Structures are given as structure tokens and as C-alpha cells.
Amino acid sequence: MNIVELRQYTLHPGARDTLIDLFEREFVTGQQAVGIALGGRFRDLDDPDRFVWIRAFPDLAQRRRALEAFYTGPVWRAHRDEANATMIDSDDVLLLRGPGYTPALGLREVEVTICRPPSAAEFDAYAGRHLTPGHALHRTEHAVNDYPQLPVRTGLDVRVWFGPSEPPPWTPLQRLRLAPVS
């Protein structure tokens, strides 16, 4: 299992495609060059000012090293002002443990469920009936964020999965409908 960041950015109105173009042109290869595994990158189908993306690391130590290398490196320094100008909020980040997720080629929509089950046993019973390995199940990573320059949400014990499913019997924190960036 990897350390995974599920990142949801709230952008200034009309800025999403500007950020996506910059991200795809500069930040994909820039992050990969320092050992970051990029997963899916998405447009939120229900919010035109939201960009959602995933990145993964083999462990927390590698996460810290890779983030330090990227955010002090030439790619971020050259383009950070342009990227930051598109964003209202980039701190909606869940630190998770799981396989990561990259959508299959040609997939037009991905459903993501973020929930806070009442107990591990209740979630396990639900998952056993409704989720498969193809749902790429993730759980909160409770370790301390050792790269505090990039905040993560804390105090939550969530489960996140990708793909259609029977809604859980408790109210999800969030259900997303996402279109992969191609």
C-alpha cells in the first residue's frame, strides 16, 4: 500500500482549464522526475471551479523527500505564481493509505465516495458486500504530516473508493462525479 494524497483544489471562476493546461504541461513530468507517482487528474462534473487529483509515494519518508525536491526545485519555482493565481484553496487534502488510482483509458466519468463509517466493523461488512478490489479502497493515514508546508485534513477517519457502488448506509461526507483529464 502507498501513501496517497487526494487533493481537491477550489479555483477562481473560469481558471480550471488554465491550471489543468499548466499542470499537464509542467507539473506531471516535474513531479515524476522527483519520484512522485501521479494518478488520476479530474474535472469535477458538479463544480466547474474544482480540480481533483491524486499522487502517491511508497512511504512517508519518500513523500517528504519527493515533496521537498519538487517544491524547492526549478519546475515549481518557475511556475508557482501562475499556478497559485488560479487557486482559492489548495488545502483540501486527504492523506490516505491505499493503492492509488488511475482511471482506465477512455473512461468518461469516475465516481468517488468519501465516507466516515461509524465503526470499522460496519464498514468492513458494507465493503464485503459492495466493494471489489477494482474500487481502489483507501483509508486515512493517521501519521503526522511530516511536510507541513502542504497542509492535510486531520481528525477524520475516512474510507475512500473509486467507482460506482451501492451508497453506504450512513451519509457519505462527499460523493464526487469526476471526468478524467485526458
Query: Residue 112: what pLDDT?
Result: 97
Residue whose C-alpha is closest to residue 119's, from 109, 129, 127:
127
Tell me the residue type at 66: A
Rounded to two decimals, the pTM is 0.96
Which residues does the chain have with pLDDT short of 70?
none
Contact between 45 and 102 under an 8 Å Cβ cutoff? The reply is no
Helix, strand or coil for residue 78? helix
Query: Residue 1: what pLDDT?
Result: 83
- CA–CA separation, 59 and 119 (whole Å): 26
Query: Residue 118: what pLDDT?
Result: 94
